[in-house]
Amino acid sequence: MLVAEIFAIFMAYSIKLASILIGFGYGNMQSCCQAISIKSVPAEKIGLSTATFSIFLDVGLEFGHYLLGFFITVMSYSQLYALLAIIVLCAIVLYYLLYTRRHQKIQIKEIVKIIYQYLKKIFLLL
């Protein structure tokens, strides 16, 4: 009986901690991405940049759940997480190619090497 109570308390606090960490991560990422979108346009197009960012953020948050729900009917959860990891890695590559390369010289070989290392880690965990 005591073990079950301790486990229930642990689960309640771990869910609260996970919620706090997700909130901080989401809030920081949204602010950083919006700052990048504003910084990359001229001053007269800041309003357009903010509106475009907000629209695509809302579309991604609203339709992403439905799309992932469709994919879960044809694949397992581990396959879905692997697919999402690949999508995140592709987004990182696009970020480097479209944004970072303008500000510094990054070799394509370095990007491919980083992606390979992450994919290797991900597929070893599955």
List the structure tokens of 18: 């996970």
d(Cα 52, Cα 34) in Å, to the nearest integer? 10
Query: How far is Cα 78 from Cα 58, in angstroms, rounded to an integer?
Result: 26
Average pLDDT, the chain: 81
Which residues have CB under 8 Å from 41's CB, separation 6+?
A: 48, 49
Please state the pTM of the whole predicted model: 0.58
pLDDT in tens, 37-76: 888 788 898 889 889 988 998 898 888 888 888 888 898 9
